[in-house]
Each structure stands twice: as C-alpha cells, then as structure tokens.
Amino acid sequence: MTRDVIIAPSILAADFARLGEEVAAIDAAGADWIHCDVMDGHFVPNISFGADVIRAIRPVTAKPLDVHLMIAPADPYLEAFAKAGADIMTVHAEAGAHLDRSLQAIRALGKQAGVSLCPATPESAIEYVLDRIDLVLVMTVNPGFGGQSFLASQIEKIRRIRNMISGRPIRLEVDGGITRDNAAAVAAAGADALVAGSAVFRGGDYASNIAAIRAAAEVPKPRQGSAQRAGETMLIR
C-alpha cells in the first residue's frame, strides 16, 4: 500500500545510548522514513552525529533513511553519507554557493536529492533546481535543535512551493515543531512528508504518537496538480 502522507520521526529526539533499539522501535511503530539530523556546529549551532552513525543504524531498518545535512560545506561529505546507507540526502540552499552542483552530485551517487530552506529563505531559491530534486524540506523552526516551536510564517511558503512543484514528482517535507495539532494545517498547505522528533518520542508510545500525527495530516483535502491522479506519481515512498 502506498501512503498519502509520509511520517518521518527524527532520531534527534531518541535516546542515543539505545539508538539501534530506538530506530527499531519507530520502525515497528509505523514510521515511513527515519529522519536523521546531521549537524556540524558551524552551519547550525549544535553538533549531532555523522556518517558513522548512519552506517550503524542502516542494518536495523529497511525503511528509507532521510538524511538532513545541516552542514557547510556539504559536498565533501556526500559520498560518505551515500556509502553509509542514506536513501535521501538533503542539503541546505544556504549551505553552499553551488546548490545545483550539490544536487547533481547526490543524484550521481544514486540517491534521492533534497533541498532544504531555512525559515528566512524565500522559495525562489529553488526555482531553477526543481528538475534536479526529489524533495523540498521546509524548515518550520530555525535548524539546530529539537523541541522548538513551529513557525506559522512558513505555512504560506509551503503553499507557494506546492504550487511551484505543480505536477512534478517531488515530496514536500516539513520539519520543526510538528505536532498532531499543526499537522492538518501543514498538510492542507501542501506538505506530504512530516518530520517529528519530540512529538513522536514524547511519552514513549511511539505508535500512538505517529498514528495521531498521521490521522491529523490525512484529513481529506482538495488535491492540487494533475500528477496527483492515481498511477501518475513517482514520489519517494
């Protein structure tokens, strides 16, 4: 079965001392993708983990590893993350001078290419790379930390990017402060992949937390674009 909305728990909110178990637990709890937040203490003011951790969790799950690279520069490390087992590799538009080159490099490594935009970055940053990407990641907090509050200013950007994507097979992912309470609003604006860290790991019942976010996001909404017709999409699943 293919699913309308992807739920991608962020392991940034996991217990790192038991990371393998935590990945297995969110997999069993219904995660569609495993979102991996890579932070370098330079592009963002926090350090998380690198390619060795991606390699360590790769055997634990068959779900796609959705690797969000909050690092600058990104290009020198793309091959390492690809070899470590990333499926989707997302770079930030703000992280380097040559976004088009970075995206080409990701696809040349045989991976799905994503581009992320910080809250202050306008959607025009991706206008000329739309044919090079499989995913757009709209940051709904300033990247660097889990547990921050959702920025409602990004709803309009999500809506505009949904229109820019038009019929292209591109996932529109949102990341930061996503909860069961705002999932409907981001989905209605056009998001079809939702990252959630705190809202999945909080309280320990990962399955019911994931189900609640999914149920909120999958409330029927008017579909946009001709590529939404059954059988026409080639979206990442």
Applying CB under 5 A, which residues contact Zn ion?
37, 68, 175
Question: Judged by CB under 6 A, does residue 12 bind ligand DX5?
Answer: yes
In the residue annotation, 134 being an active-site residue is answered as no
Alpha carbons 132 and 134: distance in angstroms, whole number: 7
Site string for ligand DX5, 109-148 (x = CB under 6 A): --------------------------------x-xx-xxx
* CA distances in angstroms from 201 to 23, 143, 196, 206, 207, listed in the order given: 11, 19, 9, 6, 10
Q: What's the closest the beta carbon of residue 36 comes to ligand DX5, in angstroms?
A: 9
**List 6, 7, 10, 114, residue binding ligand DX5 (CB under 6 A):** 10
Q: How many CB atoms are located within 10 Å of the residue 132 CB?
A: 17
* CA distances in angstroms from 14 to 24, 132, 171, listed in the order given: 11, 32, 25
| Residue positions counted in the chain | 237
Q: What's the closest the beta carbon of residue 218 comes to ligand DX5, in angstroms?
A: 19
Which of ligand DX5, Zn ion, none lies near 9, with the C-beta cut-off 5 to 8 A by kind? none
In the residue annotation, 37 being an active-site residue is answered as yes
Which are the contacts of 103, defined by CB distance < 8 A and separation ≥ 6?
A: 91, 113, 115, 129, 132, 133
* Catalytic one of 37, 40, 134, 192: 37
Residue number with CB closer to ligand DX5 (113 or 200): 200
Which parts of this chain interact with ligand DX5 (CB under 6 A)?
10, 12-13, 35, 37, 68, 141, 143-144, 146-148, 175-178, 195-199
Which residues have a catalytic role annotated?
37, 175
